[in-house]
């Protein structure tokens, strides 16, 4: 398969548009001085990535991406931006020191490595539609396998749901539930009292003068 061939495939149009949209709006997000506009560009990036998810047969993930990221995370961002009235950034990119530019250079070096690697070899290494040439290495567990290879089509909610509650992932799921509890309690502790703390009188944790 050559570059020219897949460039003429119909799916290519959707993937190209979504990819360009994702990348361009990510750049806009990073370079806007106005934080609110940055957040809106972030929404655009996330939706474009959700479109890419759909082209990868990950419909459920795409829906969750839009619901959680756009519906919750970005709204939370906007809420805090409004709350703090911290819209504009006084010092911008121009003040970045040499160390910061060096890290940017490292990041772009990494990217170049990818471009070189991605298009240096033969492209058909990993292809859609057909089964992988070599089956992925089997997991050592005997209990699994039949659960995942279910009747449901790949990426359907039932398929994802079964994988979510399979032995491979259920431990991670439980760890995340504990993580959510810890984060929730911690945030409540951090937020509790900020309202009346700003009045004088609470000397908790005052430092030695």
Residue 4 is a binding residue for other proteins (CB under 8 A): no
User: What is the per-residue DSSP string for 29-65?
Assistant: HHH-SBHHHHHHHHHHHHHHHHHHHHHTT-HHHHHHI
- Shortest CB 47 distance to other proteins, Å: 11
As to burial, measured by CB atoms within 10 angstroms (0-12 exposed, 13-18 middle, 19+ buried), residue 181 is: exposed
Number of residues in contact with other proteins, rule: CB under 8 A?
129
Residue 17 is a binding residue for other proteins (CB under 8 A): no
* Partners of 34 in the β-ladder: 88
Taking CB under 8 A as the criterion, the residue among 4, 98, 131, 151 binding other proteins is: 131
Q: Which residues ranging from 87 to 116 are in contact with other proteins (CB under 8 A)?
A: 89-93, 95-96, 100-101, 103-104, 107-108, 110-111, 113-116
Per-residue contact flags (x/-) with other proteins for residues 28 to 57, judged by CB under 8 A: -xx----x--xx--x--xx--x--xx-xxx
Q: How many CB atoms lie within 10 A of CB 64?
A: 15
Residue 147 is a binding residue for other proteins (CB under 8 A): yes
Instruction: Name the residue among 53, 71, 70 with its Cα closest to residue 62.
Output: 53
Coil vs helix vs strand at 79: helix
- Shortest CB 39 distance to other proteins, Å: 7
Taking CB under 8 A as the criterion, the residue among 98, 122, 151, 200 binding other proteins is: 122
- Shortest CB 37 distance to other proteins, Å: 11
Q: Please give the Cα distance from 59 to 72 (Å, whole number).
A: 19
Taking CB under 8 A as the criterion, the residue among 4, 138, 151, 200 binding other proteins is: 138
Residue 11 is a binding residue for other proteins (CB under 8 A): yes
Q: Please give the Cα distance from 36 to 78 (Å, whole number).
A: 7
């Amino acid at each position: 398969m050559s570059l020219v061939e897949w460039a003429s495939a119909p799916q290519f149009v959707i993937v190209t548009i979504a990819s360009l949209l994702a990348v361009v709006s990510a750049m806009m997000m990073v370079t806007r001085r106005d934080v609110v506009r940055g957040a809106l560009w972030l929404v655009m990036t996330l939706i474009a990535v959700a479109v890419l998810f759909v082209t990868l047969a990950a419909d459920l993930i795409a829906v969750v991406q839009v619901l959680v990221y756009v519906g919750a995370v970005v709204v939370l961002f906007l809420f805090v931006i409004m709350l703090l009235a911290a819209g504009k950034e006084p010092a911008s990119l121009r003040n970045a020191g040499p160390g910061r530019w060096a890290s940017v250079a490292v990041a772009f070096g990494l990217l170049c490595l990818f471009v070189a690697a991605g298009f240096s070899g033969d492209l058909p290494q990993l292809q859609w539609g057909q089964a992988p040439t070599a089956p992925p290495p089997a997991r050592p567990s005997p209990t699994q396998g039949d659960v995942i290879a279910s009747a449901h089509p790949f990426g359907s909610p039932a398929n994802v749901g079964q994988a979510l509650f399979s032995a491979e992932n259920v431990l991670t799921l439980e760890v995340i539930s504990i993580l959510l509890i810890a984060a929730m309690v911690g945030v409540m502790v951090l937020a509790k009292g900020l309202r009346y703390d700003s009045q004088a009188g609470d000397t908790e944790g005052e430092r030695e003068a």
